[in-house]
Amino acid sequence: MPAAAEAGGRKTKRRNREATAMDLEYDVEAIVNYHCKTGENPLWDDRRKAVYWEDIPAGRLFRYDVRTGRHGEFYHDGQIGGFTIQESSDSGPLSLLLFGENRIWTLDEDGTERQIACDIDEMPRFNDVIADPAGCVFAGTMGKDSTSGGLYRVDTDGRVTCLFKGTGCANGMCFTPDLKHFYWTCTTTRRIFRFDYDQATGELTNRHVVVAVGPDCGGPDGMTIDTQGNLWSARWGGWGIYKYSPAGEELGRFELPVAKVSSVIFGGDDLDELYVTTAGGAEGAETPDGTLYRVKVGARGLREFRSRVALP
């Protein structure tokens, strides 16, 4: 993996202006800026102490090593809507499961690619994915219009099942700490939904809205959860990250110097650092858009599950 550069992060102190909810200072550090048009899907690798992320339309994957500060692009191909780390990576070389333009495939550390599925449905591409405790993957899509997207589940044998359609841009997902519930974001309708989740079957039931975002606050995008069950929702067009209680009550806002904040994940040795992707960067421009940020917010997250999808 090319990693010829070192991060030159700059920290700034910010204060949450929502004093009635959470009047706390927090650190915002710019890690590296690859001028991502749509930086997305930050994912923490606790074995390698690294953060991976992507630039969706450019089909580029990046890695930042928190121990050395070195970073670089290690893959460049067609659009990538999301990815997971395969379970085999815990005992061997890195292997990622990639979701792109109507296809799913693995990418090994040596550059080997193996196709899992293709021509799955009529969709421009996948968008945002998450592995569950069993190693299956929930994968949202970008619809051709405001109602043609949906949510799919990829089982460990590679079988792909459509769970529901009728959405536009499917986005951030997470599981509650007790694994009894599942949250899913629909950016098109500006809502975050909660489901009952059956760990044994992967079934989602009892869908209902927990967060409805107003028309002037940007759109809810990528999302993660902390050990207390609070949601951390990136806000596309909203200049930051919004924190919500399990019941959907807004607990605070964490501002960034970029309008299009696309996704978040907890990382670091203690899972107490938020790594945040942003979008809109123009190559060579003096703009923070497209930067990967690290934000200290005084909370701890949960380890993401690995996918266990077998090769055909």
Tens-place pLDDT, residues 116-160: 999 887 788 999 999 999 999 999 998 888 778 899 999 999 999
The string of pLDDT tens digits covering residues 30-55 is 999 999 999 999 999 999 999 999 99
The string of pLDDT tens digits covering residues 58-81 is 999 999 999 999 999 999 999 999
**pLDDT reported for residue 6:** 55
**pLDDT reported for residue 168:** 87
261 pLDDT higher than 50? yes
CA 230 to chain centroid, in Å, comes to 16
3 pLDDT higher than 60? no
CA 212, 217, 222, 225: dihedral to nearest 10 degrees?
-60
5 pLDDT higher than 60? no
Do residues 185 and 220 touch, judged by C-beta distance below 8 A? yes
Distance (Å, rounded) from C-alpha 301 to C-alpha 286? 32
Architecture of domain 5-296: 6 Propeller (2.120)
Kindly report the pTM of this predicted structure.
0.92
Which contiguous run of DSSP H or E holds residue 135?
A: none
CA quadruple 23, 185, 229, 196: dihedral positive or negative? positive
Per annotation, catalytic residue among 55, 221, 226, 289? 221
Residue 221 among the catalytic residues = yes
Every domain of the chain and the residues it spans: 5-296
For 1-15, 60-74, 119-133, 212-226, which range has the lowest pLDDT when averaged over its residues?
1-15
Please give the share of the chain, as a percent, with pLDDT higher than 70: 91
Structure tokens at 257: 């110097």
**pLDDT reported for residue 19:** 36
